[in-house]
């Protein structure tokens, strides 16, 4: 039997944040079962901890959504680092991910990691297309800092600013439009949508990726990192902010972002919720 843990990530309260399944020692599992196990948990991501390729590193982490393996994701990196810290690793550790080694600092309740993966801007979808995908109007989209932009630090997100908190809450993805425009913009992958607004120094955000079986995500660290890098590019200035996500789902999350040219740091907390055995 193989042990698993479930953590709620980017929160300090159980049943908030984004749930994550962690297999802390996946070395005895058939590789072909990784995707099946992730689909069985049906969380936005499940991580599988393996021995590192480089013995000077802490561990190799493979991340799976219900439908595919991901090279990088934020809440799995934070949650897995905290789980490893509880097993006696760290506080400083290097985790091998699909985008390369990621340096983390973790305690038994919080973690931070930095990535130097360069931002890639892949597309600028038409405003009317994005508005239709989000169930909003063109007038709801804010263009002052950037237009809707598909960018990546490892996973593609189309990042869009909307005018206020009420507009953000009103967003409701149009699945047929998502399918249509995912074909129109093939560089955008499944056309995952990261939508945000600013209020009193806090960024409120939502993330929709229904074509990857994630109707809405409660906390998306990789999208937060991509947003930070994009804002640095657009403003030519360092960025430091907190993202509130998951409020509209009843799973409030808090993601800390510190971005500068060439580097983004993501930080947050996590709490253990469940543990058990894979039979």
CATH of 120-261, one of 3.40.50.11820, 3.30.360.10, 3.10.450.50, 3.10.310.10: 3.10.310.10
Assess contact for 225 and 236: CB atoms under 8 A: no
User: In the annotation, is 45 catalytic?
Assistant: yes
Burial of 92 by CB count in 10 Å (0-12 exposed, 13-18 middle, 19+ buried)?
exposed
pLDDT of residue 98: 94
Contact 122, 107 (CB under 8 A): no
State whether the Cα torsion 208-210-214-220 is positive or negative: negative
Contact assessment for residue 162 and residue 168, using Cβ atoms and an 8 Å cutoff: yes
**Is 2-111+269-278 a CATH 3.10.310.10 domain?**
yes
The model's pTM: 0.94
The reply to whether 2-111+269-278 and 120-261 are identical in fold is yes
> How much is the pLDDT for 213?
86
Domain ranges of the chain: 2-111+269-278, 120-261
Walk along the chain (279 residues) and give the pLDDT tens digit of each residue.
Answer: 899 999 999 999 999 999 999 999 999 999 999 999 999 999 999 999 999 999 999 999 999 999 999 999 999 999 999 999 999 998 999 999 999 999 999 999 999 999 999 999 999 999 999 999 999 999 999 999 999 999 999 999 999 999 999 999 999 999 999 999 999 999 999 999 999 999 888 999 999 999 988 999 999 999 999 999 999 999 999 999 999 999 999 999 999 999 999 999 999 999 999 999 998
User: Please, which residues bridge with residue 141 across strands?
Assistant: 162
Give the DSSP H or E segment for 275: strand 263-278
What pLDDT does residue 201 have? 81
Distance CA 189, CA 211 (A): 10
Q: How far apart are CA 54 and CA 104, in angstroms?
A: 16
CB contact at 8 A, 195 and 171:
yes
* Three-state secondary structure call for residue 28: coil
**pLDDT tens for residues 159-172?**
999 999 999 999 99
Backbone angles phi, psi at 13, to 5 degrees: -130, 135
Catalytic residue among 31, 45, 126, 176: 45
pLDDT score of 47: 98
Tens digit of pLDDT for each residue in 253-262? Answer: 999 999 999 9
């Amino acid at each position: 039997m193989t042990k698993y843990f479930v953590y709620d990530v980017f929160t300090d309260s159980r049943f908030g944040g984004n749930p994550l399944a962690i297999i802390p020692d996946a070395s005895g599992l058939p590789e072909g079962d990784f995707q099946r196990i992730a689909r069985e948990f049906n969380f936005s991501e499940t991580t599988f901890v393996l021995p590192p390729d480089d013995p000077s590193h802490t561990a190799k982490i493979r991340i799976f959504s219900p439908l595919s393996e991901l090279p990088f994701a934020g809440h799995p990196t934070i949650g897995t680092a905290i789980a490893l810290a509880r097993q006696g690793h760290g506080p400083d550790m290097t985790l091998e991910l699909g985008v390369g080694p990621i340096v983390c600092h973790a305690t038994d309740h919080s973690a931070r990691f930095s990535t130097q993966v360069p931002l890639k801007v892949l597309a600028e979808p038409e405003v009317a297309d994005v508005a239709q995908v989000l169930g909003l109007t063109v007038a709801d989209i804010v263009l002052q800092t950037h237009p809707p932009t598909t960018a990546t630090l490892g996973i593609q997100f189309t990042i869009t600013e909307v005018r206020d908190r009420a507009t953000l809450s009103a967003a409701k993805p149009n699945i047929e439009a998502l399918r249509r425009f995912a074909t129109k913009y093939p560089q955008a992958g499944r056309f995952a949508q990261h939508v945000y607004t600013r209020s009193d120094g806090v960024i409120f955000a939502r993330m929709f990726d229904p074509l990857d079986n994630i109707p809405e995500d409660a906390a998306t660290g990789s999208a937060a990192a991509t947003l930070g890098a994009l804002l640095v590019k657009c403003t030519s200035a360092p960025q430091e902010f907190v993202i509130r996500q998951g409020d509209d789902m009843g799973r409030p999350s808090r993601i800390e972002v510190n971005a500068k040219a060439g580097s983004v740091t993501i930080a947050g907390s996590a709490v253990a919720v469940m543990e058990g055995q894979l039979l």
